[in-house]
Amino acid sequence: MKSFRHGKKEGRMTKKKTGSKSFFISTFFPVLLVAFFILNLPFGVSIAEANEILEGKPYLTDEFTSFINVIRLQYELMFTSIFIKYPDLKIITHGYDFACPDPRIHFGLNPCNWHQPLLNMATGTGKWLYQSFMLKGITQPELQRKIVKTMIFDFNEMLMKMAIKPTYPNLFHIDCRGACTSRHDWYDELHPKSLVFIKIAQKYQECIDGIFMGKVCPVRSVDR
């Protein structure tokens, strides 16, 4: 709080010296950042999803950013060493879909999957994300979902940026974001149902066979 107040004081001093220009820049710059983010959305990401990702951003810690950077460096080292020895090998990565931090996914009338709530209760599983949020005091389901969406978004973006690097001509990425169209597509908080995995497997096959010519293969359709 001390540094925040100090920053406000500096802002007022600058405003006195430069007039309204300082106020215009300080208020317009965040708008430019949001506009840049929305205008540069990845394939299939809607403006509504972009807004949710922006709402989740403030909750990501520096530790999470460092974690993503460490993973990226580990991947880079691994890919480089593999391609040196096997330059013609095709490597395919994939990221998660936007997971659902909701332990109640399978409660209700679902005769085809009646056993899953009982299995989760018996084994104490199915609440990995939900419990972590509750321990942190983040109890609003919509906010939980937006934070998870932001984390999955950043992880996929990291993998996609590696895939399109000219130094990795045989590196490809399967973008699973949006493969699940509703909460009913999820087996539990983290794992989609078999029908969704079939769609993902089809994209793997297309990538392996060279049917999809790009470096990033999205699972969801264009109209989403």
Does 69 lie in the same domain as 131? Answer: yes
Q: Which one, of 100, 144, 103, lies nearest residue 126 by Cα?
A: 103
Residue 159's domain comprises 43-218
Considering the domain boundaries, does residue 223 fall inside one? no
Whether 107 and 212 map to the same domain: the answer is yes
Q: Are residues 11 and 62 in the same domain?
A: no
Distance CA 154, CA 196 (A): 22
Are residue 95 and residue 200 in the same domain, yes or no?
A: yes
32 and 95 fall within a common domain: no
Residue 56 domain flag: yes
Tell me if 224 is assigned to some domain.
no
96 and 58 together in one domain: yes
The tens place of each residue's pLDDT in the chain, 224 residues long, gives 333 233 333 333 334 444 545 444 455 545 544 554 555 555 556 788 889 999 999 999 999 999 999 999 999 999 999 999 999 999 999 989 999 887 766 554 556 666 666 766 676 666 789 889 999 999 999 999 999 999 999 999 999 999 999 999 999 999 999 999 888 888 888 888 889 999 999 999 999 999 888 899 999 864 43
The dihedrals phi and psi of 186, each to the nearest 5 degrees, come to -100, 135
The reply to whether 106 and 16 lie within a common domain is no
Same domain, yes or no: 34 and 85: no
What is the predicted pLDDT for the residue at 188? 82
Look at residue 186 in the predicted model and tell me its pLDDT. 86
For 92, phi and psi rounded to 5 degrees?
-120, 125
Q: How far is residue 50 CA from its own chain's centroid?
A: 11
Based on the domain organization, do 27 and 103 belong to the same domain? Answer: no
Digit-coded pLDDT (tens) for 61-117: 999 999 999 999 999 999 999 999 999 999 999 989 999 887 766 554 556 666 666
Question: At what angle are helices 2-18 and 20-39 packed, to 10 degrees?
Answer: 120
* 116 within domain boundaries: yes
pTM, rounded to two decimals: 0.73
Instruction: Say whether both 73 and 151 belong to one domain.
Output: yes
> Within this chain, do residues 107 and 184 fall inside the same structural domain, yes or no?
yes
Are 23 and 53 found together in one domain? no
**Facing residues of 216 across strands?**
173
pLDDT at site 41: 59
Question: In the chain, how many domains are there?
Answer: 2
What was the pLDDT predicted at 17? 47
